[in-house]
Every structure is written in structure tokens, then in C-alpha cells.
Amino acid sequence: MANEFDYIRENLRVIQDKVGQAQEKSGNNVRIMAVTKTVPPEAVNYAVRLGIDLLGENRVQEFLSKQESYDKSAQVHIIGHLQTNKVKYIINSVSMIQSVDSLRLGQEINRLAEKNGKIMDILCEVNIGGEDSKSGVSPENLKDLVTELSQLSYIKVKGIMTIPPPSDSDIFLGRTQELFNSLKDSDISGADMDILSMGMSNDYEKAILHGSNLVRIGTALFGARNYRNI
Ligand SMILES: *Cc1c(COP(=O)(O)O)cnc(C)c1O
């Protein structure tokens, strides 16, 4: 029977195909995240029933308003800029915070994780293109930040996340891969450099070829965003 969300099924098939091919070339084991901003919960749940097991949330407010309606079988990661005063709202409902870009934010996550009897996995977000419009730590300060965050007992640094500038993306994908590999090689005490979260709808195949093992996909899966939905 035709369904209003059939396009999601078709889109996912295409994405899985391309990820599979890129994965074979790169040798990475790649996880696909569905990025849900502006997407109604019914569409998100449809994707989860098709096998998506990871959701990416940008805005705390939007997440809180949709969370109750979500199928609980998928994990949720925060991928958008997070203010320290909002950590308390999400500390118990997400399995990772990918957008940590300051020691202050890391300390607040650490404090609330301890209070809630857990260890929170995090990624450090790096602003690889040095763009004013984007959050993230500068490439120059990344290693120091990872080192400092890794000393906190109730968070675990699992890798890095980036949004490369859309132009010249190959250069920035390559630079991020180099940074990731050099962090791995430094073997920073307390950190597990396992995850390189890089690649969105327009560059996920290239990102995988540059070592990404977590791609964050919104429009290629759900179609163009309608900001009137939020
Ligand atoms: C919106 C968003 C994505 C997904 O972008 P698309 O181009 O729609 O795939 C990925 N990562 C972050 C951090 C985002 O905000």
C-alpha cells in the first residue's frame, strides 16, 4: 500500500547503497545518523522502523517538544551548539553530545553526569574551516581541549565532529582526517579516539573516503527542511 512516507524508504535505500560502496572502499564501519531538525516525529519514527537507530538533534527546545513522540528504540545524540544552561534538560535522554567546544561546557556536562550517576560520551567539535558562523574549537586548540576534557571523570571523549565549509570540502575533509589521526596517534590518556563524525547530505560519500565513520544525514533522507514546522 502506498504510504505518505514512501520517499523516506526510497531515500534511505539510496543512502545505504552509497554508504555501503564508500565503506567498502575505505574499510570503515560507518554508522548512519538521521538528522531530525524540522522533521515531524511521524516521519522520524518511520525512518526508525526502517532500521535507523541513531537520531541527531540540533536544538534542545525542539528536541524536548518532540522527544515524547519518538520511538524509543533509537539513540539520540546532540549535534547542535549547546549552551551550558541547557545541559540539564538533555543529560538523561541522550547517549552522546557531539558538539562540545569548550572546557566550560565539558565541565558542566561532567558535573551533571556525576550528579545523575552516569558517564556521558562526547565528541569535540572542531571548526575546521575557521568560519565565524560556526561553533567548534579551532584546529590549533583541539588537542589541548581534548586533553583537558579527557581528565574529567564523568565524561568520555570518543572522537571529533566537524562541519566542513561547503566549498573546497575535500581540503577540509582531508585536514580533519589528519587531525583525527594525529589525535589517535597521541594516545591521550582517558580518551578513546574512535569516532570521526563528518559528512552530511552533500558530502557523506567523500567524508567516508576521508575516514568518517559516522555520517549525519538530514535532507537526503527526509527532503528539504520546512522551518515552519518548528
Ligand atoms: C542539519 C545538520 C546536519 C544535516 O544536514 P543535511 O545537509 O540536511 O544532511 C548534519 N549535522 C549538523 C550538525 C546539522 O546541523
100 φ, ψ (degrees, to nearest 5): -85, 120
Cα separation, 221 vs 19, in Å, equals: 13
DSSP, residue by residue, 113-130: HHHTT--EEEEEEE-TT-
User: Ligand 1 within 6 A of 34 CB?
Assistant: no
Contact 98, 125 (CB under 8 A): yes
Q: How far is the CA of 136 from the centre of ligand 1 (A)?
A: 15
User: Ligand 1 within 6 A of 219 CB?
Assistant: yes
pLDDT at residue 16 above 80?
yes
- Per-residue confidence band for 226, with pLDDT thresholds at 50, 70 and 90: confident
User: Ligand 1 within 6 A of 38 CB?
Assistant: no
User: Ligand 1 within 6 A of 79 CB?
Assistant: yes
Amino acid identity for residue 145 in this structure: L
The distance from CA 131 to its chain's CA centroid, rounded to whole angstroms, is: 19
Identify the pLDDT of residue 168: 84
Cα separation, 123 vs 99, in Å, equals: 6
Cα separation, 88 vs 72, in Å, equals: 20
pLDDT in tens, 198-221: 999 999 999 999 999 999 999 999
Cα separation, 212 vs 179, in Å, equals: 12
| Minimum CA distance residue for ligand 1 atom 7 | 201
Q: Which atom of ligand 1 is nearest to the CA of 201?
A: 9
Q: Which atom of ligand 1 is nearest to the CA of 200?
A: 9
Identify the pLDDT of residue 88: 98
Identify the pLDDT of residue 89: 98
Give this prediction's pTM: 0.97
Cα separation, 188 vs 194, in Å, equals: 12
The full set of domain ranges for the chain reads 6-221
Cα separation, 98 vs 147, in Å, equals: 16
pLDDT at residue 227 above 90?
no
Beta bridge partners of 216: 33
Which residues, at least 6 apart from 214, have a Cβ–Cβ distance to it below 8 Å? 30, 31, 33, 195, 196, 197, 198
**Domain 6-221 is found in CATH 3.20.20.10:** yes
